[in-house]
Copies of this chain bind each other. A is one copy, B any other.
């Protein structure tokens, strides 16, 4: 069985992403768009703003009318009107004139700037004193200053945050085309695994991986699809796997740590139509015995059974495949690591990438990453961890104080 192992480097495994298609697209209401990935280039159909507007409360004037004005030598201007919000003023402002305007109001013809109300005093109904001069364009947003007409304001592959929602609203997009959420099948295997509503007997353990993986799939922008636990039986496994491939965009099997189960997984993968095993083992720790197959055009993962190993492989390997499927632009991939310093020396084997769980500890002199050591079968280590750090395959370890990048988990 060991013959099957063709251990590959992490980068080689990640490169298989481009072998798989993106999921299709769907049109959804803008109100539901936060966190989704845009599947269209969005072009502006007008200037934003559409008109010259003010950013303050005050008086719209010709800047020249106030030049040289000061506390001791105010300029005296005549108020020629009040600008109503949401309306186009039907008068103009000439030299020596001023028009009362509120934040967001449209400047009248003639006016090129707005003096703040705090820098004026009304002497009577029609006369104000101005204590401070303004430059042309001051306290004003020009038409198209935010976005010009006919430019691409957002590109496909962009993750929609609240501000992108706001921008789409500004251009009247009630619906938006996004990539569909990939459906990810999750199958737990093993004769020792019982459903969580069952009290485990001696030798048995509840199905943890289905839950951690479902949570991770959801966080990665996918929709988890659960299946019954599969016991150590070739036909049962083949049946569920066929169904899972049919019903989803990606399949995750975890566990199958018994020899029989692992053999069955390989057999089933080989027997599914149009299947090819791409990866059988990755030179990472934890999580080395990971399997990746292509079934039709869908990725099919065999994840390790240990809860920590399955989570680490998900975060570092599977998630990039889900992100690829959802169309997330690489250059827009803002999941930057958190810079910190390592709190102690860490040894590591050369020839493989080590992922180490860490806690983030803010101190006077910055952020420290404190390794959480422990067996990869213990979920408490993930409960105590805030993230993972990566120790490269060509390093023997990291020294205390070295800078590291922490991937949140």
Binding site for B on A (CB under 8 A): 30-31, 34-35, 48-51, 53, 55, 57, 84-89, 102-106, 141, 145-147, 153-154, 160-174, 190-194, 196-216, 218-219, 226, 232, 255, 257-259, 261, 305-307, 311, 334, 336, 338-340, 360, 362, 366-367, 375-380, 382-383, 385-386, 403, 409
User: Does A203 contact B307, Cβ atoms closer than 8 Å?
Assistant: no
Interfacial chain B residues near A202, Cβ < 8 Å = 50-51, 88, 106
Known: A204-B86, A305-B104. A166 touches B34 (CB 8 A): no
User: Does B161 contact A409, Cβ atoms closer than 8 Å?
Assistant: yes
Chain B residue at minimum C-beta to C-beta distance from A232? B85
Q: Give the oligomeric copy count.
A: 2
For this complex, 13 residue pairs linking A to B, each with C-beta atoms less than 8 Å apart, are A31-B214, A104-B190, A104-B305, A104-B377, A161-B409, A162-B211, A162-B214, A166-B212, A170-B205, A172-B197, A334-B386, A336-B362, A339-B339
User: Does B336 contact A257, Cβ atoms closer than 8 Å?
Assistant: no
Interfacial chain B residues near A409, Cβ < 8 Å = 161-163
User: Does B196 contact A174, Cβ atoms closer than 8 Å?
Assistant: yes
Known: A34-B219, A232-B85. A174 touches B197 (CB 8 A): yes
Q: Which of B103, B165, B219, B336 contacts A214 (CB 8 A)?
A: B165
User: Does A55 contact B377, Cβ atoms closer than 8 Å?
Assistant: yes
Q: Which of B168, B205, B366, B386 contacts A49 (CB 8 A)?
A: B205
User: Does B377 contact A141, Cβ atoms closer than 8 Å?
Assistant: yes
Q: Which of B87, B145, B192, B232 contacts A105 (CB 8 A)?
A: B192
Interfacial chain B residues near A48, Cβ < 8 Å = 379
Interfacial chain B residues near A172, Cβ < 8 Å = 196-199, 206
Distance, CA A199 to CA B200, complexed state (A): 62
Q: Which of B86, B160, B208 contacts A190 (CB 8 A)?
A: B86
Interfacial chain B residues near A160, Cβ < 8 Å = 215
Q: Which of B50, B145, B153, B216 contacts A162 (CB 8 A)?
A: B216
Distance, CA A89 to CA B205, complexed state (A): 15
Q: Nearest Cβ distance between residue A196 and chain B, in whole angstroms? A: 5
Q: Nearest Cβ distance between residue A138 and chain B, in whole angstroms? A: 11
Interfacial chain B residues near A199, Cβ < 8 Å = 172
Q: Nearest Cβ distance between residue A18 and chain B, in whole angstroms? A: 23
Known: A172-B206, A336-B362, A339-B367. A211 touches B166 (CB 8 A): yes
Distance, CA A334 to CA B361, complexed state (A): 10
Point out which of A85, A200, A210 has the most chain B C-beta atoms below 10 A from its C-beta. A85
Known: A51-B202, A172-B206. A162 touches B213 (CB 8 A): yes
Chain B residue at minimum C-beta to C-beta distance from A384? B163
Interfacial chain B residues near A232, Cβ < 8 Å = 85
Known: A86-B204, A258-B103. A166 touches B339 (CB 8 A): no
Q: Nearest Cβ distance between residue A319 and chain B, in whole angstroms? A: 11
Interfacial chain B residues near A213, Cβ < 8 Å = 162
User: Does A219 contact B166, Cβ atoms closer than 8 Å?
Assistant: no
Distance, CA A366 to CA B339, complexed state (A): 8
Chain B residue at minimum C-beta to C-beta distance from A204? B86
User: Does A196 contact B208, Cβ atoms closer than 8 Å?
Assistant: no
Chain B residue at minimum C-beta to C-beta distance from A334? B386
Interfacial chain B residues near A197, Cβ < 8 Å = 172, 174
